[in-house]
Structure formats: structure tokens, C-alpha cells
Amino acid sequence: MNNDLKNQLKALEETHINLEVRKSSEELDQLLADNFWEIGSSGRIIGKKECLESGVVLTEMTLHNYEIYPLASDVVLATYYISDKTRKRNTLRSSIWKRMNGRWRLYFHQGTVTDMELSEVLNT
């Protein structure tokens, strides 16, 4: 596995959960692919336009167990665990990153609420 790619995508994923970035539609616009969509932890489907116009959830989150699975030379599936301190809940996450015009953009994202605790995830 390419550790440089994993580190690069993990840094972008951490940018995506950063509170300051999440408050900025300009920064989100740069991170999200034009045809970005997600299945939120609420079960709702949300597109890029809604993310930029209505905003995204602003919570303090930490990312754990980040792994990548290359699907093609320019497409990578990432999986990880989020501890959401603000909402006091945990989620399992997946993202699809696509390299477009020379840079990685978030194409798809999904969050699923889990009752798994961090200690359980770190031991798997």
C-alpha cells in the first residue's frame, strides 16, 4: 500500500472534518467534487449544492483507523471511525476520493452511527 497516498488522503479527510473548513463554503467547494453526494448518518442523501448552501454539521470529531483501498489509479475508497465529541456518538465512515484535474476531490461519503466504542475499533 502506498503510505504517501494514505497520508495525503487522511490529511484531506481531516480537513473535511475540520470545524473551520466546514464553516467555509469556499473551502468545502474546493474539497468536494462537483458531483459529490453523501448518505448522511441521518440516512438522508445530500448533494454538494445542499452542503454549500445549507452548511454541514459543525461538531468536534476525531478520526481513527484510517485505511485506504485503491479501486483504480485515480479512485480510492477510504474507511475510518469517527468519535463525535459534540453529539456524543460514534460513526463508521467511508469516502470515495477521485483524482480530478491533478488533485484529489471527495466524490462520495457515508456515515453510519455505531454503538462500537473506540477501544473495540482499535483492537480490530
d(CA 3, CA 85): 28
Structural domains of the chain ordered from first start: 3-122 (3.10.450.50)
Tens-level pLDDT at each residue, the chain (124 residues): 588 999 999 999 888 877 777 777 888 889 999 999 999 888 889 998 888 877 666 677 889 999 999 999 999 999 999 988 887 889 899 999 999 999 999 999 999 999 988 888 886 5
Q: Bridge partners of 45?
A: 39
Q: Tally Cβ neighbours within 10 Å of residue 41.
A: 20
d(CA 29, CA 2): 27
Nearest to 9 by CA among 82, 96, 118: 96
